[in-house]
Structure 1
Amino acid sequence: MRLSRAMSIIAVLTASVAVAACGSGQTGSSGGSTASKQVTMDEQQATKRAEEIIHQAVDGMSPKPTLKRTGLTPVGACVADDHSAGERQQVTLSYQLTGVPGTEAKTLVRQARDAWVKRGYKFQSSDADWSDSFPSVSMRTVSDDFWMTALTGVVDKAKGEGLAAISVTSPCFAADGSRTADPASFRQVPTDEQAERRALDHSSRIYDALLVRHAPMREAEGLATYQDGEDTYAHHAWSTEPLNEDAMVQALARAKAHFGSLGWTLRQVPTATGVPALLARSAEDESVARLAPSTDGTLRVAVTTPTVRRRSASA
Structure 2
Amino acid sequence: MTATILLMMVGAAACGNGDSGHSRQSDKTPQNRAGNMDEQQATKRAEEIIHQAVDGMLPKPKLKRIGPLPVGPCLADDNSSSSGRKQVALTYQLTDVPGSEAKRLLRHARDAWVKEGYTFTSPDADWSVPFPKFFMRTPTDDFRMDGIIGPTNKETGEGIAAISVTSPCFAGGAGTPSEANPAAYQTPPGTSDAERRVLEHSSRIYEALRVRHQSQAGDGVSRVEDGTDLLTHHTWSTVPLSREALKGAIRRGRDSLGVEGWAVRSLPLENDQEMIVARHPADGSLARVVPSADGTIRVAITAVDHEGARSA
Question: TM-score normalised to the size of structure 2?
Answer: 0.52
Equivalent pair of 1:173/1:180 in contact (CA under 8 Å): no
- Of all paired residues, the percent bearing the same amino acid is 53
Counterpart check, 1:245 vs 2:264: yes
- SS of corresponding position for 1:173: coil
Pairing 1:59–2:55 present: yes
Q: Which residue of the partner structure matches residue 112 of structure 1?
A: 109
Q: Residue deviations 1:145-185, cap 9 Å, x none?
A: 000111110001112110011110000112149x9957337
Report the RMSD for the aligned CA atoms in angstroms: 3.8
Q: What residue ranges of structure 1 are gaps of 5+ in the alignment?
A: 1-35, 188-198, 208-216, 224-235, 261-265, 269-276, 279-290, 292-298, 303-315
Q: Partner of 2:124 in structure 1?
A: 127
TM-superposed CA distance for 1:300, in Å, is 3.1
Contact 1:153–1:165 at 8 Å: present in 2 too? Answer: yes
Sort the Cα spacing of 1:250 and 1:40 in 2 relative to 1 into closer, same or farther, 3 A.
same
Paired residues of 2:121 and 2:136 also in contact (CA < 8 A): yes
Residue 249 of structure 1: SS of its match in structure 2?
strand
SS at match of 2:265: helix
SS at match of 1:108: helix
Partner secondary structure for residue 57 of structure 1? helix
Contact 1:134 1:152 in 2 (8 A): yes
Kindly indicate whether residue 189 of structure 2 is the aligned counterpart of residue 184 of structure 1: yes
Match of 1:44 in 2: 40
Task: Structure 2: state its 5+ residue gaps.
Answer: 1-31, 175-183, 193-221, 234-260, 267-274, 279-285, 306-312
Q: CA deviation at 1:243?
A: 5.0
CA distance in 2, matches of 1:237, 1:81: 15
Aligned residues: 192
Q: Is contact 1:148-1:168 (8 Å) kept?
A: yes
Q: Confirm whether residue 77 of structure 1 aligns to residue 73 of structure 2.
A: yes
1:89 to 63, 86, 90: 86
Q: Which residue of 1 aligns with 2:137?
A: 140
Give the drift of 1:87. 1.8
For 2:34 and 2:91, the matched residues in 1 are separated by 24
Paired letter, 1:300: A
Report the counterpart of residue 303 of structure 2 in structure 1.
300
Whole-Å separation in 2 of the counterparts to 1:68 and 1:124: 25
Distance 2:129 2:160 in 1: 14
Task: Verify the 8 A CA contact 1:174 1:180 in the aligned structure 2.
Answer: no
Q: TM-score, normalised by structure 1?
A: 0.52
Matching residue's letter, 1:183:
P
